Amino acid sequence: MSTTSFLSNRINNLSESATLKMTKLGRELAAKGINVISLSVGEPDFNTPAHVKDAAKKALDDNYTRYSPVPGYPDLRQAIVNKLKNENGLDYDISQIVVSTGAKQSLSNVILTLINPGEEVIIPTPYWVSYSEMVTLAEGKSVFIDTDIESNFKITPAQLEEAITPNTKLFMFSSPCNPTGSVYSKDELAALVTVFEKHPNIFILSDEIYEHINFVDQHESIAQFDSIRDRVIIVNGFSKAFAMTGWRLGYIAANKEIAAANDKLQGQTTSGTCSIAQRAGIVAYEQGLESVNTMKEAFLRRRKLVYDLLNDIPGVKTNLPEGAFYFFPEISSFFGKKDPEGNEIKNSADLALYLLNFGHVATVGGDSFGNDNYIRLSYAASDESLIEALRRIKEALTNLI
Ligand code: PMP
Ligand code: GLU
């Protein structure tokens, strides 16, 4: 990592987001006229539903153009409370909801709110790129629990127990998981809860942004367990469920103290998020899940497509993801091989760069997700793009010697 002396240690110690970096490199190559297929950034390839866009246009006409309350408009927070009740069976009050500029800001707010320098945050690997970097920013210490394809990328209660120390403050995970697609069942969550019950000072950050893209079951939130409920912070948002990545709308549901602390933090940093996005968010939640279900059907079809194509590439090993829209195949059998120019592929980042420069497919190396033996592919792309991307990947991997 390069350092520049006049920048803060905080920034010099921070890595660039790998998902955004690979997407940027892909765009730069495309700007040179090269046909690049992007499977790097995880965002639905659908447009925001028309009724949500109409609500934003109306918000402008109705002059929702001024500062909004820092934790969000009360009617948006009420719509979130209603959603949590109706879809998840969870009771919250609007004082427990804080709306932010994307789930990313919500996660960062929560970490800054809870973590003192040196306190430990347990993160199962593979994890979403920004988790460990957000912990670093807060001067906390990430403690990783490793999983692999054999365990379907899920941790056991024994692994959790073993990772806990007197310094543990927070456990954070996503289910459905980015980057593996793994989904914890209610029984698996219940087993982890028995461990948390023994450690009453640990908070649990539950990132549920992919809740609607679940192919195995209904969504199960760890907040449903009353014994730990007060220590669970749910993070969710509109980016994935309503194809609203550019709108920047996310939220937390947490105990009142944590919600008030997030409100205070946000009041000194960003203030309430975009007024227009918030008005549109109300309509998204009030009008139901029809558009989400259409997207989910497409993701299910593409999952099968990509699964079959990946299984057809010698040296690549994959499981069948249960949710989200990513594959996280094992690719370490290619390490030590050389590209046509003689450069050795030493790790997953090298392989991702090779696939970009020689195969013209943007992916992300698994090292940024905490496991170097894998790469991540997003299958939120058209069927035709996926077929062509997997053909290129197969060809590029076969050309390694
Ligand atoms: N959590 C996970 C697991 C994600 O994949 C993303 C996607 N960017 C986010 C949080 C942040 O989502 P957003 O800021 O777009 O709401
Ligand atoms: N969640 C997406 C991803 O993992 C968006 C990119 C980002 O915010 O890092 O690719």
Distance 253 CA to ligand 1 centre (A): 16
Domain 66-286: top CATH class = alpha beta
> Tens place of pLDDT for every residue, the chain, 401 residues?
556 789 999 999 999 888 888 999 999 999 999 999 999 988 999 999 999 999 999 999 999 999 999 999 999 999 999 999 999 999 999 999 999 999 999 999 999 999 999 999 999 999 999 999 999 999 999 999 999 999 999 999 999 999 999 999 999 999 999 999 999 999 999 999 999 999 999 999 999 999 999 999 899 999 999 999 999 999 999 999 999 999 999 999 999 999 999 999 999 999 999 999 999 999 999 998 888 999 999 999 999 999 999 999 999 999 999 999 999 999 999 999 999 999 999 999 999 999 999 999 999 999 999 999 999 999 999 999 999 999 999 999 999 99
Q: Which atom of ligand 2 is nearest to the CA of 364?
A: 10
How many other CB atoms sit within 10 Å of the CB of residue 306? 26
What is each CA distance from 288 to 51, 169, 269, 307, in whole angstroms? 11, 36, 32, 30
Distance 132 CA to ligand 2 centre (A): 14
For CA atoms 158, 162, 164, 165, the dihedral sign is positive
Alpha carbon nearest to ligand 2 atom 3, residue: 42
How far is Cα 256 from Cα 254, in angstroms, rounded to an integer?
A: 6
CB under 8 Å, gap of 24 or more: what pairs does 80-86 form? 80/251, 80/253, 80/285, 82/285, 83/285, 84/234, 84/253
- Looking at the chain, the number of H-run helices and the number of E-run strands are 13, 12
Distance 234 CA to ligand 1 centre (A): 13
- Ligand 2 pocket, CB under 6 A: 17, 19-20, 41-43, 104, 128-129, 178
pTM over 0.85: yes
Amino acid at 36: V
The domain limits of the chain are 3-47+291-398, 66-286
Strands (DSSP E) contained in 203-272 are 203-207, 232-237, 250-253
Distance 103 CA to ligand 1 centre (A): 5
CATH topology of domain 3-47+291-398: Aspartate Aminotransferase, domain 1 (3.90.1150)
Find how far residue 391's CA is from the centre of its chain.
27
Q: How many CA atoms lie within 13 A of 205 on its CB side?
A: 32
Ligand 2 binding pocket mutation candidate from 45, 129, 208 (most atoms within 8 A of CB): 129
Which ligand ends up closest to the CA of 208?
1
Residues in the chain, how many? 401
* Burial classification of residue 262, based on how many CB atoms lie within 10 Å of its CB (0-12 exposed, 13-18 middle, 19 or more buried): buried
Which ligand ends up closest to the CA of 273?
1
How far is Cα 200 from Cα 202, in angstroms, rounded to an integer?
A: 6
